[in-house]
Amino acid sequence: MSTKDTISNYHLSEEEEKKEILREYRGLLKLLKEKMKPGDKDLIRTAFEMAADAHKTMRRKSGEPYILHPIAVAKICVEEIGLGIRSCICALLHDTVEDTDITLEDIQREFGSEITKIVDGLTKISNVMDANTSKQAENFKKILLTLTDDPRVILIKLADRLHNMRTLDSVKREKQLKISSETVYVYAPLAHRMGLYIIKTEMEDLSMKYMEPDTYKFIAQKLHETKRERTRYINDFIRPLKEKLQHTGLDFEIYGRPKSIHSIWSKIKKKGVSFEEVYDLFAIRIIVNAEPEKEKEDCWKVYSIITDEYNPSPERLRDWLSNPKSNGYEALHTTVMGPLGRWVEVQIRTKRMNDIAEKGLAAHWKYKEGKDDESNFDKWFNQIREALSNQETNSLDFLQDFKTSFLAEEIYVYTPKGDIKMLPVGATALDFAFGVHTAVGTKCIGAKVNHKLVPISYKLRSGDQIEIITSAKQKPNNEWLNFVVTSRARSKIKDSLKEEKRQVADLGKGILERKFNAINAVVNHANLEELANFYKVNSTLDLLYDIAIKKNDLKELKEFTVHGDKLIPPKPAKPAEEKIESLDHKPLTKKDTELVIFGESSDKIMYTLANCCKPIPGDDVFGFVTTGEGLKIHRTTCPNATRLLANHAHRVVKTKWAKNKEISFLTGLKIIGLDDVGVIHKITNLISGELKVNISAMTIEAKDGIFKGNVKVFVQDKEQLDNLVNQLLNLPGIERVDRYDTEEK
C-alpha cells in the first residue's frame, strides 16, 4: 500500500471503510492461496477477526482504521519477504498484546506456542520507537535475542518498519526525523544482512526522503530527466550480448535496473563527483535458469561472453559464487567498459541465487531444506548468540559493536593451512587472532600477512593469508579497543582488562577500609555506591581502581557524616551546576517543543550551534539536549545526526528559524577550478565586491593547472549562501563549489 493510498482513505464513510478493510483482507488471502493447507484459512480468519475487533476503536495518524496496518504488514511478509501462513498470523496480531486487551494467554489458547512465542518477541520490541536512550538500545538487544531464537521475529519487524516508513507522511516532522534516522541506522543494515536488498534499498530511500528532502528531490528529478537516454543506452549495451547468449542455448533473461537514490547520493559524496559524473546509475542483470550442478559453470560461461564483447576492469570483479556472503548472497559482479566510454556494472546470477537475493532469509531456508551443511548464515547467527551471551556489555556499546561486527560487509581471509575465515570490513590482524581463539588473541604480539611481518593493528584485505605471532608475556591493553572491530575481540579484551582492573581494585579496597575505619564507617555496597556517585565515576570498581592507582586520595571523605551504617555525603556547594546536569532528565514541556530560534522565546532558552555541522538560518535543524552543555542545534544532514536521533530520540527538541538579519554566521566553501590568470581576483571581487559578503579567511592551492580554494564567509542565512554558490559556479573556469563545516579546515 502506498503512502498516498493510505492517507487518502481517512475521509471514507464507515460503510466504505468496512469494504476497504475487507478488500485488503481478501487481497492478503489471494497472496496466500498457493501456501494454504487444510485449516489454514480458518486460522487466518480467526487472527484477522481477533485483530480487527481488538483494534476497532483505534486509528492511525492518517485517520485510517488501524487494522489496515497489520494487514499491510502481513502482505509485505508474504509478497515481499516470502514468509508463510504462521508469519502472516503473527503479523496480523503483532500489535494486539502491546496496544489492546488481548493477552499472550489468549493467543496461546487460539494458536499454540509457536505463534505465541513470535508475537511475544514482537511485543517486546514494539516500544523501540518511543523509548529512551538506554531502553532503546536495550530493546534492540532484545530484538536480537529473539532473532536468534526465531528469525521470523525480525523479518516481521522489518515488514512493520517498512510499512511505517511508507506511511510516514502523516506524522509530525520531528517523528519523521526520528523514525527515519533509526531506520537508516539500524533497520536498513539489518535488512541488508538478512539478504533483503530490495527492502533495504527502499528503507534507505524513504529515510533520505525525510532526512534530506532537497537532495532526494534533486536526484529523483535528475533520474526522471535522464530516463529516456538511459533506456536507449541499456538497449544498445544489451543487444550484442543477447545475440551471443542466445547462440549458447542457455535459458536466461537480461535487463537493466536503476540504482537507488540513496546509493547514487552515497557515490556522489564518497567520490566527490556531480550527478552527471556518476557512471553506474544502473546495473545490468543476467539471470540464468541452471541445473544445481551446473550453476557455477553457466555463470562463468556468461562472464566469458560478456568479457569477449566488452573489456572488464580487473579490480572490479566480485566472485560471490566461490564464497557466498554470510546472508546467503551468491552472484558474479563485473564492471566493463561499454559504448561511449562508460563503465557498466553487470551482475550474473542463477534463478535460485536471484530468489535468495530478492527474498533473503526466507528463500535461503527454502533451498536449504534437506541439506545438513552449516551455511555462512548459520555461522553468523552463532556469532550473534555468542556476542549476546556477554550480558555485561553496556547496551549502547553493544549497539555500536553490533553495527561494526555484524552489519558491515565482509572480507575473506585465509589461515596458514588455507582454511577460509570471514571477517567484517575494517577487521585487523588482532580481530583475526581472537577469531582463532581467545588465548591466541590475548597473547598476540604481531602477525605475518602474506609472509610479511605486520603490526597487530594491520587492516586486513580479502585474500590475505594470516599467521599470528604470540608471546607468553603479552597481555591486552586499552589501546587495543581503538582498532578492533569484531564483537568477539572487543568483549574478550574488555573481560581481560576488567579482570586485571579487579586485581588492582582489591588493593584500593584495602586502602578504603583503613580510611573508613578512621571515620567509623562500614564498607558495604550502599556506601561504595554513594561514594562512586559523589566522585562521578561509572562504577564501584572504577572507584576502587582510582584509589589503588592514587588517582583519588579521598580527601573529601572527612566532609562526609556517618549515620548508623549509612555514609551521608556533604551538601553540594554549587546547586547551579546540579541544575545543568539534570537538564538531560527533565521532561520537555509543550512550550519547549515549539522552540523558535531567533524568535520571541530565544532569550529564554539558551542554546549553542553545534561545531560538527555549523548550522545557519534556513538549514533544516533540530535541537539536542546535552548533558551539561544545554541545548545544541544540529543540521539534519550533520554527520552525527543519524546517531543522535536514533539513539537519544527523547532528547530531541523541534526547532525552526525566525528571520534575524542582524546576525551573521560563519560557514565555509570549497572551490575547485582551472588555475587561470586572475581567478582569485574574480572570486574575491564577486564575494566581497558584488555580493557584499564578508570573508573571514581564504586559502588557495594551485597544482598542475588545477586550483583548490577554501573560503570562510559570514552569511545571514542559507538563501544568501545558496545565491553565493550559484554565482560562483557561473564564473568561467569554476568546476565545483561545496559547502563544508568550518571545523574541517
Is 105 labeled as catalytic in the residue annotation?
no
CB-facing half-sphere around the CA of 231: CA atoms within 13 A: 6
DSSP 549-599: TTS---GGGGG-EEETTEEEPPPPS-HHHHHHHGGGTSPPPHHHHT-EETS
The residue annotated as part of the active site, out of 79, 99, 397, 495, is 99
**C-alpha to C-alpha distance for 185 and 204, rounded to whole angstroms:** 9
* C-alpha distances out from residue 392 to 268, 498, 562, Å: 41, 11, 33
Burial-class residue 441 by CB neighbours within 10 Å (0-12, 13-18, 19+).
Answer: buried
Burial-class residue 689 by CB neighbours within 10 Å (0-12, 13-18, 19+).
Answer: exposed
Q: What does the block give as the cell for 651?
A: 532528547
Residues with Cβ within 8 Å of residue 224, at least 6 apart in sequence: none
**C-alpha to C-alpha distance for 710 and 741, rounded to whole angstroms:** 11
**C-alpha to C-alpha distance for 55 and 96, rounded to whole angstroms:** 7
**C-alpha to C-alpha distance for 116 and 668, rounded to whole angstroms:** 56
**C-alpha to C-alpha distance for 433 and 632, rounded to whole angstroms:** 42
DSSP 470-529: E-TT----GGGGGT--SHHHHHHHHHHHHHHHHHHHHHHHHHHHHHHHHTT----HHHHH
Q: CB count, 10 Å around CB of 639? A: 11
The residue annotated as part of the active site, out of 20, 40, 98, 592, is 98
CB distance 395 to 137 below 8 Å:
yes
Q: b/e per residue, 563-574, with b = 16+ CB within 10 A?
A: eeeebeeeeeee
**C-alpha to C-alpha distance for 88 and 34, rounded to whole angstroms:** 14
Q: CB count, 10 Å around CB of 513? A: 13
Answer left, alpha or beta for residue 290, where phi above 0 means left and psi between -120 and 50 means alpha.
beta
* C-alpha distances out from residue 741 to 52, 82, 269, 335, 632, Å: 51, 45, 14, 35, 16
Q: What does the block give as the cell for 393?
A: 556489555
Q: What does the block give as the cell for 614?
A: 555549523
Residues with Cβ within 8 Å of residue 549, at least 6 apart in sequence: 504, 508
Give the DSSP letter of residue 691.
S
Task: List phi, psi (to 5°) of 547.
Answer: -65, -45
Is 138 labeled as catalytic in the residue annotation?
no
Q: What does the block give as the cell for 52?
A: 480487527
Task: List phi, psi (to 5°) of 588.
Answer: -75, 130
Q: Which of 402, 408, 406, 414 is nearest to 460 (CA)?
A: 414
Catalytic residues: 98-99
